Structure 1
Amino acid sequence: MAGPADLGTLPVRSSRHVDLNLLTIRILSNREEFDGYAYFSRDAPAGAAADHEIVCVDLDRDPYDPEVLRALSDRTLRAKRFRSGYYLNHIFGEPAYLITEGRRSYVFGRRLERTIWPYFVKRVLTDFAVDHGYLHLKAAGFTLDDGSATLLVGPNAGGKTVFLTQACLDGARFLTNTHVLVRDGEAHAVPSAVRVRRSPQFEQLIEGHGLTPHLESGDFVAAPELLFPGEPRDRGRVRSIVITDYSPDRPRTFERIDPEQAALFLGLFADGVVNYGLKDDLLAHHEGDFTAFTGSLAAMREQLAKLVEGAHCYRANVDMLDPSVRERVLAELSSNGHRG
């Protein structure tokens, strides 16, 4: 069992260069087939340069000496967590070894699809956002006929996906499912596959297209083009922000809230750094520079304040599967105009 004497000559048997709208990532694997590719819905244009590369080496396919990999691994907190089998949030697996060389990351381990979307995409998006003056939010979103965007944020299992799906099936255009980059009130989509739960509605789609199972047991991933009519949108000026927290046990409501309330909520439930536990990664991105790190945090806070001040903000506990409710909610979002 040898060590990787030259990282530049590792075995690569498959690759995919994916388009995330404002940036691209090239993913390479030593496996002929790699499930990590399935989480992306769009390929980068031919000839485009990759903004970041991720090289995934499955140790079941090509074994390397763990002691050598440990010695080569980054000295960051994230690399230490990888070596313990903890990747990000609730995603974990066998020990993995993270090696970073500028805009190229190497990861050695097993079932490495568990690191691509759960960790690498989130980190690369956050790094890009702070370097280019964007705000990275955990949010779903769609655009309406006039091109204006509605962002959906909320707690896990709060109904974002149902709200998004029903809006898009009712004529709205898909913008994003999980991530969005925002600057000066403009939302930029991060193209990705959509999580699909097995149900009579999607059974034929799952079987007919041989969809890849999601990391979470029982679910699958599909490109939005397979699910919704019309081409997905890449961007839209944010007109509305809807905080979804569906609970059939509480009174139904769709009501306006103050921008200050929205900012407090988004700061905890939508901010990428907070939601994904990336504060140590962001500090490492700034090479421990305290002034640069706090400057990035201040810039993100300012972007968030501008975003909610320029939008209509709502709190929603609504059943979007009810046609009459869906019609009323979408009519409100279509007609609310800009804040005066």
Structure 2
Amino acid sequence: MPVRSSRLVDLNLLTVRISSNLEAFDAYAYFSRDAPEGTAPDHEIVCVDLDRDPYDPRVLGELGDRTLRAKRFRSGYYLNHIFGDPAYLVTEPGRSFVFGRRLERTVWPYFVKRILTDFAVDHGYLHLKAGGFTFDDGGATLLVGPNGGGKTVFLTQACLAGARFLTNTHVLVRDGEAHAVPSAVRVRRAPQFEALIDGHGLVPHLESGDFVAAPELLFPGEPRDRGRVRNIVITDFAPDRPQGFERISAEQAGLFLGLFADAVVNYGLKDDLLGHHGGDLDAFTATLATLRRQLTDLAEGARCYRANVDMLDPSVRTAVLAELASVSSSVVPDAAGPVGP
């Protein structure tokens, strides 16, 4: 099987080797950090483009996995809203093969999410869909929310205002400590990013009109690898609704996290997780109970907020970041309205 390019990527707590039969593979652009050569990868992903090296689909169908995920891949459905040509999965311990076309649509959208979830379950971490940043004292703020709720704007404005970038979309949490998953950041073509996009030849994102860039190109200071979770912020920016930044209860936050941040729920990985346990119902349900307990503990150990604020407004941004940076909160629970200076 020809391998014409390869990259050993560093995901902080684990490493993954991605290989392709293409000399240039767009999937590499989604990763911002390489692991030192010689590092033994925790998992390998081998992507074979059938336009470059044709294989008989009938043979691939016979060799491929018999899982629900493999069946969906063969129908051209990868994960969530990501579709493409039919693809064929062949899974071995520690290694995944995928045969198809435009396979960059499978690496970050599916394989990384599954590998992170499997790693988290096996090592006692909680895998969350969340952005995050830290302050100079190491206190971390995690950002969760619905799609289009303003997480990226909140994260970007915080980092441009002096906070340190932690993570864009994935974080592994254990015992109140958030561990970053280094990745590129989505950039929309806007006047302030034109020179960056064109000057660095950024790779287009899977979503039309966007690009991906390493956080080091966007923000001052080195990204952080970890931080103690101080705050959890639910971002849901809607300018037509009353603006405000308010404390909410840990119970409210935990319920929200269970639907909008838990990786298994968000990415539809329940069948993959059951397969990871070899179909063992007892082990599977024990893992679900552990994940629920970890979510509850995380919310109870942090200050939880709901944010409907315009982070592009300098006065609002300053007040919100001052509140999040403080060691003791000046916002009382259930207080409506924007944070004061």
TM-score when scaled to structure 1? 0.96
CA contact (8 A) 2:8 2:37 kept: no
Q: 1:271 aligns with which of 262, 270, 274?
A: 262
Rounded Cα–Cα distance in structure 2 between residues aligned with 1:172 and 1:313: 19
- Which residue in 2 is equivalent to 1:7? none
1:97 maps to amino acid: Y
> 1:167, CA displacement in angstroms?
0.1
Partner of 1:4: none
| Contact in 1 for aligned 2:236/2:307 (Cα 8 Å) | yes
Opposite residue 333 of structure 1, the aligned amino acid is L
Shift of 1:338: 8.1
Equivalent-residue separation in structure 2 for 1:68 and 1:76 (angstroms): 17
- Seen in structure 2, the aligned counterparts of structure 1 residues 252 and 338 have a Cα distance that, compared at 3 Å, is closer
Correspondence for 1:115 among 106, 120, 135: 106
- 1:169-180 residue pairs with structure 2 within 5 A? 169-180=160-171
| 1:89 maps to amino acid | N
Corresponding residue for residue 158 of structure 1: 149
SS at match of 1:230: coil
Verify the 8 A CA contact 1:263 1:305 in the aligned structure 2: yes
User: Please, which runs of 5 or more residues in structure 1 have no aligned partner?
Assistant: 1-9
Q: Deviations over 1:140-160 (max 9, x none)?
A: 000011111000000000000
Structure 2 residue 131 is the aligned partner of structure 1 residue 134: no
What corresponds to 2:43 in structure 1?
Answer: 52
- Between the aligned partners of 2:289 and 2:123, the Cα distance in structure 1 is 14
CA RMSD of aligned residues (A): 0.9
1:293 partnered with 2:293: no
C-alpha deviation, 1:45, in angstroms: 1.7
CA contact (8 A) 1:311 1:338 kept: no
Identity %: 82
**Equivalent position SS for 2:9:** strand
Distance 1:254 1:35 in 2: 39
Q: Deviations over 1:54-87 (max 9, x none)?
A: 0000000000000000001101000000000000
The equivalent residue for 1:3 is none
Q: What residue in structure 1 maps to residue 57 of structure 2? A: 66
Whole-Å separation in 2 of the counterparts to 1:325 and 1:15:
45
Is 1:22 the equivalent of 2:13?
yes
Q: What is the count of residue pairs matched by the alignment? A: 330
Cα deviation code 1:264-316 (max 9, x no counterpart): 00000000000000000000000100011011111111111111111000000
Match of 1:209 among 195, 200, 204: 200
CA separation in 2, counterparts of 1:167 and 1:328?
11
Alignment of 1:251-330 (within 5 A): 251-330=242-321
- Partner of 2:191, secondary structure, is coil
CA contact (8 A) 1:180 1:188 kept: yes
Q: Aligned partners of 1:182, 1:209: CA distance in 2, in Å?
A: 33
Matching residue's letter, 1:269: F
2:159 aligns to what? 168
1:215 Cα deviation after fit: 0.3
Aligned-partner SS, 1:17: strand
Does residue 96 (structure 1) correspond to residue 87 (structure 2)? The answer is yes
Runs of 5+ consecutive residues of structure 2 not aligned to the other structure: 331-341
The residue that corresponds to 1:5 in the other structure is none
Whichever residue aligns with residue 32 of structure 1, its letter is E
Q: Could you tell me which amino acid in structure 1 is paired with residue 264 of structure 2?
A: V
- Find the counterpart in structure 2 of residue 85 from structure 1: 76
More off after superposition, 205-214 vs 41-50: 41-50
Distance 1:146 1:338, change over 3 A: farther
Partner Cα distance (1:289, 1:283) in 2: 7
Distance in 1 between residues matched to 2:166 and 2:159, nearest whole Å = 9
3-state secondary structure, aligned to 1:201: helix
User: Does the 8 Å contact 2:188/2:209 carry over to 1?
Assistant: yes
